[in-house]
Amino acid sequence: MGRFLDLLKTGPISGFRLRTKLLLLALTTLALPWAGCQYAREMESVLRENEQQSLLAVTTTIAGSLKGRQELLFRADSLPASEQANDPRDITPVVLSGAPLLDGRADEWDQDARSLVRVAGPGGDGLRLFAATHERRLYLAMIVRDNRWVFDASDLTPLDSASIGDRLWLAFDDKRGGQQRLFFGSTGPGAVHARRIETLEYGRETAIDEPRIQGVWQRARDGWVLEIGVPLSMVGQHLGVLVDDRDRRGTPRTSYGTLEASDLRAVGRLIAASPDLNDHLRQFAQPGVEITVASSTGALLTRLDAPALPGDYTRMRGFLPRMYRLFLDGGAIPRAVSEAERAGKAEALTSRAARGTPEAALFGGRYKDSVIVAAAAPIYSADGKRIIGVIQLAQTADRWLTLRDQALTRLLNLTLFVTLFAVGAAFWFAGRMTLRITRLGAASETALGREGSVSRVLPEADAPDELGDLSRSFSSLLGRLDEYTGYLRTLAGKLAHEIRTPLTIIRSSLENLESEAQASNGMGENAKVYIARAREGSERLGAILTAMGAATRVEEAIAHSERHRFDLGALVRSTTDAYGGAFPNRRFVCEVPAERLEINGAPELVVQMLDKLVDNAVDFSTDGATISIVLRAGDSHAELDVTNPGPPLPPEAATRLFESLWQSRAESGTRPHFGLGLYIVRLIAEFHGGSAQAANLPDNSGAVFTIRLLR
């Protein structure tokens, strides 16, 4: 504490005014909001950690419920060796949240690489196959690069070899283990449905419509596009397509695709979730939680989208909350990330889970400040030795963001208010304190009057605090000073009085001695000289005593003076004439207005004042100097200048010259000086409602004393 106070006195803010210092101290309350922010951050990270842990627990629980339920995860009850290397002919449909529009346009398809199967055909031709599931249907888009799209002839049966144009074969296992082979052929762009070839009696073949499998065939920029929808219930474990490309109707075909070209057998697997998986997962559905199940290889099996959150995260609007967030978001909260980045992070989580590590993570959401909590856990086979899939739950953390924002806004509003209040209070207090100190300082500065009189009434004397104490100790100090000044002022008079008695003893003894000696005629010459010297000394002592008591006698004379109107001009003129005789070594010049200049006062005091001024002028000038006495009539005052050539006044003289017992000169001559002459001048001037001032002549060649007397 002491060091702190020292710092206040000598530290970097020591040069500031008290008010600024207190204000700076008050600003330290700004640490309150900062501490609040720290606390909120801490709280938030704990909340987040909890959220992750609980989400991970839920994920693990769901994963446990799926343990060994391969038939739920995958469409067929026995998915052959899913750990086998992926066959490039495998079809892995993406899970769509809405049914795609079958319009023969490929551009709206999610260009997800995982669902893409590419088969190159001859001569730069090729097939790109996109697969997707929604609800209980499988959707396929086949984008074929073909320099010429050859239609079937419209007037012939589709089985007539001459009428056959470009064809697309779809083959799959059915649930009973048989092979279904269907083809699409079109006489023009537009809606198509699948047809199958059936062998009738006598080996006659015919094409029968399969109305459950429909699609749209359209021309594309460099070939054609066929989009179809297939009920998943029809499809078994394998599925494939084959393009029969012909350059002209009836010409030999060029075949490429994922079917065995010889017998049109499907060899590529259809890896998709069982339709019952969603029903199973739906029982775990919670608002705001998205559930995703993937195969152990990372292929997405299904995604159960989050039902809408009842109250979504609403950001606090306004300036202050924005400022608070600025305070808070010091990197603790992940930044908003792009869709691809978020997908990448989710995938990384999934792949770690596929290696057997359940894990939870946080990452940035769709917009700034929104955070997603995700947890992934592996799904094990019944024997617990194999990982058959991965389940991931994702949840936006917006709920507790809202909570945090609200709590913080309340907290920060409160602390801001408290801080403002503290600063305001400190400012008010500092201002008041400064004012009081300034007042006390000003009063104590003026308390000591020019003539040494002391005003003992100071402000704040009634205040109960330290300033009051200070004021009171000032007052007692001033009181003591007053007593001391008073003692000094009366000292000369008292001293003169006290010395007078022993002086009288000396003097009367000397006189007796002389008389005795004369009577008896018994004193030698030497003794006479000594007695004369002793008398001379005692007379000088007497003169000194008279001079010492002069001020007291003048004060007394002033107290007993009566005022009457008299002509100051005549007085100054006749007095100046007299000075010529009294000081033959000086020249006196007198200027007095021609008309009468009457003042109301005591002429004998004015004469005495003039005597003192002239004494002073004579003392400071040399023989032959000219002393000028000039009287002027002012509006309210008569002004009297007494000017003498001589040394300039010392700088401090201007304020102290007219004080009692002050003198600037070294002792000279035989006349005693007690610095009382000009004090008497001032007393008399003030008695006449005026003032006394002294100044150097402009060229420093002498001094001028100016007395103003009220007319």
Stretch that binds another protein, among 141-149, 386-394, 601-609, 654-662 (CB under 8 A): 601-609
Shortest distance (Å) from residue 492 CB to another protein: 13
Stretch that binds another protein, among 84-92, 277-285, 473-481, 599-607 (CB under 8 A): 599-607
Partners of 82 in beta bridges: none
Binding residue (CB under 8 A) for another protein from 272, 273, 304, 571 = 571
Q: CA angle, 621 as apex, 618 and 625 as ends, to 5°? A: 95
- 3-state secondary structure string, 590-635? EECCCCCCEEEECHHHHHHHHHHHHHHHHHHCCCCCEEEEEEEECC
311 DSSP assignment: S
Nearer to another protein, 131 or 554 (CB): 554
Q: What is the largest CA-CA distance in the chain?
A: 203
Binding residue (CB under 8 A) for another protein from 82, 396, 576, 706 = 576
What mask, x for binding another protein by CB under 8 A, covers residues 267 to 286? --------------------
Shortest distance (Å) from residue 585 CB to another protein: 18
Binding residue (CB under 8 A) for another protein from 508, 600, 622, 664 = 508
For 523, list phi and psi in degrees, rounded to 5: -110, 130
DSSP string of 149-162, one letter each residue: PPPPPTTS-TT-GG
User: Within 651-690, which residues bind another protein (CB under 8 A)?
Assistant: none
- The amino acid present at 63, given as its one-letter code, is A
Shortest distance (Å) from residue 560 CB to another protein: 6
How many C-beta neighbours within 10 Å does residue 404 have?
A: 22
**Residue 500 binds to another protein (criterion: CB under 8 A):** yes
Size of the site for another protein (CB under 8 A): 38
Nearer to another protein, 418 or 589 (CB): 589
Stretch that binds another protein, among 397-405, 411-419, 432-440, 604-612 (CB under 8 A): 604-612
210's enclosing H/E stretch is: strand 205-220
What mask, x for binding another protein by CB under 8 A, covers residues 509 to 548? x-xx--xx--x----------------------x---x--
Binding residue (CB under 8 A) for another protein from 207, 309, 523, 578 = 578
For the chain, what's the residue count?
Answer: 711
Rounded-to-integer distance, Cα 295 and Cα 94, Å: 12
**Residue 504 binds to another protein (criterion: CB under 8 A):** yes
Stretch that binds another protein, among 34-42, 273-281, 365-373, 498-506 (CB under 8 A): 498-506
Shortest distance (Å) from residue 545 CB to another protein: 8
Shortest distance (Å) from residue 497 CB to another protein: 6
Q: Is 196 helix (H, G, I), strand (E, B) or coil?
A: strand
Binding residue (CB under 8 A) for another protein from 507, 632, 656, 673 = 507
What mask, x for binding another protein by CB under 8 A, covers residues 607 to 646? xx-xx-----------------------------------
Binding residue (CB under 8 A) for another protein from 185, 240, 257, 549 = 549
**Residue 497 binds to another protein (criterion: CB under 8 A):** yes
238 DSSP assignment: B
DSSP string of 407-419, one letter each residue: HHHHHHHHHHHHH
Cβ atoms 182, 260 nearer than 8 A: no
Contacts of 345 (CB under 8 A, 6+ apart): 337, 361, 363, 374
Nearer to another protein, 571 or 694 (CB): 571
Shortest distance (Å) from residue 591 CB to another protein: 17
**Residue 253 binds to another protein (criterion: CB under 8 A):** no
Over its C-alpha atoms, the chain yields an Rg (Å, rounded) of 61
Nearer to another protein, 28 or 504 (CB): 504
Stretch that binds another protein, among 129-137, 318-326, 413-421, 552-560 (CB under 8 A): 552-560
Helix axes 550-559, 525-548, angle to 10 degrees: 40
For 534, list phi and psi in degrees, rounded to 5: -60, -40
Helix axes 398-447, 31-65, angle to 10 degrees: 170
Nearer to another protein, 550 or 678 (CB): 550
405 closest CA partner among 369, 453, 447: 369
**Residue 451 binds to another protein (criterion: CB under 8 A):** no
Binding residue (CB under 8 A) for another protein from 556, 564, 587, 589 = 556
Shortest distance (Å) from residue 556 CB to another protein: 5
**Residue 575 binds to another protein (criterion: CB under 8 A):** yes
Stretch that binds another protein, among 112-120, 163-171, 382-390, 600-608 (CB under 8 A): 600-608
Nearer to another protein, 61 or 600 (CB): 600
Q: How many CA atoms lie within 13 A of 130 on its CB side?
A: 22
DSSP string of 98-140, one letter each residue: SPPP-SS--TTS---GGGEEEEE-GGG-EEEEEEEEETTEEEE
Please list the helix, strand and coil fractions of the chain in percent, rounded to the nearest 5, in that order: 40, 25, 35
Stretch that binds another protein, among 314-322, 327-335, 389-397, 507-515 (CB under 8 A): 507-515
For 438, list phi and psi in degrees, rounded to 5: -60, -45
Binding residue (CB under 8 A) for another protein from 604, 626, 655, 701 = 604
Shortest distance (Å) from residue 448 CB to another protein: 29
Rounded-to-integer distance, Cα 624 and Cα 13, Å: 63
User: Within 405-424, which residues bind another protein (CB under 8 A)?
Assistant: none
Counting other chains too, the contacts that 190-195 makes at CB distance below 8 Å and 24 or more residues apart are 190/216, 190/217, 190/218, 191/215, 191/216, 191/217, 192/216, 192/217, 192/226, 194/170, 194/228, 195/158
DSSP string of 554-587, one letter each residue: HHHHHHT---EEEEHHHHHHHHHHHHHHH-TTSE
Shortest distance (Å) from residue 526 CB to another protein: 23
Shortest distance (Å) from residue 607 CB to another protein: 5
Binding residue (CB under 8 A) for another protein from 183, 184, 324, 579 = 579
Q: How many CA atoms lie within 13 A of 324 on its CB side?
A: 27
Contacts of 334 (CB under 8 A, 6+ apart): 362, 363, 364, 371
Distance in Å from the first CA to the final CA of the chain: 65
Residue 130, classified by CB atoms within 10 Å of its CB into exposed (0-12), middle (13-18) or buried (19+), is buried
Binding residue (CB under 8 A) for another protein from 96, 422, 557, 695 = 557
**Residue 554 binds to another protein (criterion: CB under 8 A):** yes
**Residue 600 binds to another protein (criterion: CB under 8 A):** no
**Residue 584 binds to another protein (criterion: CB under 8 A):** no
What mask, x for binding another protein by CB under 8 A, covers residues 327 to 366? ----------------------------------------
Binding residues for another protein (CB under 8 A): 497, 500-501, 503-505, 507-509, 511-512, 515-516, 519, 542, 546, 549-550, 552-554, 556-557, 560, 570-571, 574-579, 603-604, 607-608, 610-611
